[in-house]
Amino acid sequence: MKKFTKILAILLALALVFSFAACTKTDDEGNNNGESMTADVAEKGLEDIKVGFIFLHDENSTYDLNFIKAAKEACDKLGVEYVQKVNIPESNECYEAAVDLADRGCDIVFADSFGHEQYIIQAAKEYPEVQFCHATGTMAHTEGLKNFHNAFASIYEGRYLAGVAAGLKLNEMIAEGKFTADEAKIGYVGAYTYAEVISGYTSYYLGVKSICPTATMEVQFTGSWYDETAEKEAATKLISNGCKLISQHADSMGAPTACENAGIPNVSYNGSTVDACPNTFIISSRINWAPYFEYIINCVANGEIIATDWCKGITDGSVELSAINEKAAAAGTAEKIEEIKAGLANGSIKVFDTSTFTVGGETLASYKADVDTDAAYTPDTEVISDGYFHESEFRSAPYFDLRIDGITLLNEKF
Nearer to other proteins, 365 or 375 (CB): 375
Map the footprint of other proteins across residues 35-64, applying CB under 8 A.
58
CB 309 within 8 A of CB 395: yes
Q: How many chain residues touch other proteins (CB under 8 A)?
A: 51
Nearer to other proteins, 329 or 407 (CB): 407
Which residues of 184-224 form beta strands (DSSP E)?
A: 185-190, 216-221
Q: Which of 2, 28, 177, 386 touches other proteins (CB under 8 A)?
A: 28
Single-letter code of the amino acid located at 339: E
89 binds other proteins (CB under 8 A): yes
Map the footprint of other proteins across residues 90-149, applying CB under 8 A.
90-92, 96, 99-100, 103, 114-115, 117-119, 121-122, 138
220 binds other proteins (CB under 8 A): no
375 binds other proteins (CB under 8 A): yes
Query: In this structure, what DSSP letter does residue 310 have?
Result: E
- Cα–Cα distance between 43 and 46 in angstroms, integer? 9
Nearer to other proteins, 76 or 316 (CB): 76
State the nearest-atom distance from the C-beta of 44 to other proteins, in Å. Answer: 21
State the nearest-atom distance from the C-beta of 386 to other proteins, in Å. Answer: 27
Binding piece for other proteins, criterion CB under 8 A, among 188-196, 275-283, 327-335, 387-395: 188-196
SS3 at position 286: strand
State the nearest-atom distance from the C-beta of 101 to other proteins, in Å. Answer: 9
352 binds other proteins (CB under 8 A): no
DSSP bridge partners of 108: 51, 131
Binding piece for other proteins, criterion CB under 8 A, among 17-25, 205-213, 283-291, 333-341: 17-25
Q: Which of 266, 242, 245 is nearest to 254 (CA)?
A: 266
CB 88 within 8 A of CB 56: yes
Sequence-ordered list of residues with C-beta below 8 angstroms from that of 303, at least 6 positions apart, any chain: 40, 41, 42, 43, 44
State the nearest-atom distance from the C-beta of 266 to other proteins, in Å. Answer: 24
CB neighbourhood size of 354 (10 A): 20
Single-letter code of the amino acid located at 180: T
CB 333 within 8 A of CB 168: yes
For the chain, give percent helix, strand, coil, nearest 5.
Answer: 45, 20, 40
The residue ranges that bind other proteins (CB under 8 A) are 3-4, 7, 10-11, 14-15, 18-19, 21-23, 25-29, 58, 83-87, 89-92, 96, 99-100, 103, 114-115, 117-119, 121-122, 138, 192-195, 223-224, 370, 373, 375, 377, 413-414
